[in-house]
Amino acid sequence: MLHQVLFLSENSNNLVPTLENLFEDQKDLKMRFIFPETLYKTDFAESEFIILDYDYYLKNKEKLQPAFQYPDKLSIFATLTDHNQMNEILKSTKVAHLFGMSGTHTLQDIKAYLVASLKNEFWTPETFINPPETVRTHSEIKTSENLNQQIELILGKHDLSRTFDEFKGILIQILNETITNALYNAPVDASGKFLHRHKSRRDTVISDEKKIPTLDIVEDADKIILSIKDFYGTLTKEVIDHYITHGEVTEKDGGAGLGMFIVLKHAHKVIINVDQGKMTEFIIVLHKFKRFYHYQTLEKSYHLYQRKQS
């Protein structure tokens, strides 16, 4: 089967051949990348994927608007070092895949996205590891009690000496928010009613023994990759779209509704895998830099993979 990808960019002439080359090792996937001068409605409708350059879209809105009629197959790439810009794009487009553009590295990510989507697979921390892997820890978070101490104990097994001082604080904040979500916001009872969502975060929550959230931290020389999993799979795209772009306190009870926004602000890559009714995983990729300036200027990406209940 031939998989058609509509690649919409001013630089398609240069980018598509590079992308085609990257697929040479994928003998079982036959790809056809198109970037016609004149676009017809059928080009959008008949393509399995639409990859859109956001700068190109801003210059050709009328011509490229039909892409947004196909949210399930649309992904966007843009030059993204500024969180506000990323936020604006996510807010206005509600796209599930937003790639920060940084040359061939991004094309590798686009390839990984196409492969994972076609094989109905999720990205994993291994997607981002450049061997050799240096440190790996696996932990179960059974209770919300003393959560920060638990996090600090786990981070103590990782070498953060070649990072700027505040990096550890950022890691703690990201882990505090994502683990709190896994403990309080994810669990439901058999009827689908949320068990702890409206509880004060001062009230201790103990995980169901069969569904204990996990935290995996993997490192290579340049990156630290966090994977936080709950085993309920109750997060929806609508909830993510609302909270991930919302930098204001809106919730009076339970959580403050800021966690996902803060995580997106800090991380270089945020990947959310939702296997509906089974599992939600946040994968957060952070590059290790000695200088905060370098950390701040690295491009960002956001991805949501969903596997609906059959």
Partner 1 sequence: MNTIEMGQLIFNIEGQDGALMVTVTGSINEDLQIDKLTHLKGASIIFDLDKVKMINSCGIREWIRLIESIGGETKLEYIKVPQIVIQQMNMISGFLSKNAKVTTFYAPYFIEDLDEEKQILLRTDEVKDFKAPKMSTNVDGTDYALDFDAIEEQYFKFLKR
In whole angstroms, how close is the CB of 17 to partner 1 at the nearest point? 34
Which CB, 210 or 293, lies closer to partner 1?
293
Binding mask 25-44 for partner 1 (x = CB under 8 A): --------------------
- Give, as ranges, the residues between 289 and 308 that touch partner 1 (CB under 8 A): 290-293, 296-297
Which CB, 100 or 259, lies closer to partner 1?
259
Binding mask 181-220 for partner 1 (x = CB under 8 A): -------------------xxx------------------
- Give, as ranges, the residues between 131 and 150 that touch partner 1 (CB under 8 A): 148
Which CB, 212 or 263, lies closer to partner 1?
263
126 binds partner 1, rule: CB under 8 A:
no
Residues in the chain: 310
Which CB, 70 or 292, lies closer to partner 1?
292
Binding mask 249-268 for partner 1 (x = CB under 8 A): x-x---xxxxx-xx--x---
Distance CA 29, CA 295 (A): 36
In whole angstroms, how close is the CB of 79 to partner 1 at the nearest point? 15
In whole angstroms, how close is the CB of 261 to partner 1 at the nearest point? 8
Tally Cβ neighbours within 10 Å of residue 271. Answer: 26
Pairing of strands 223-230, 214-219: antiparallel
Which CB, 265 or 300, lies closer to partner 1?
265
Using DSSP, state whether 233 is helix, strand or coil.
Answer: coil
In whole angstroms, how close is the CB of 149 to partner 1 at the nearest point? 9
In whole angstroms, how close is the CB of 208 to partner 1 at the nearest point? 22
93 binds partner 1, rule: CB under 8 A:
no
- Give, as ranges, the residues between 64 and 83 that touch partner 1 (CB under 8 A): 82-83
Which CB, 59 or 290, lies closer to partner 1?
290
Interface positions with partner 1 (CB under 8 A): 82-83, 148, 164-166, 169-170, 172-173, 176-177, 180, 200-202, 247-249, 251, 255-259, 261-262, 265, 290-293, 296-297
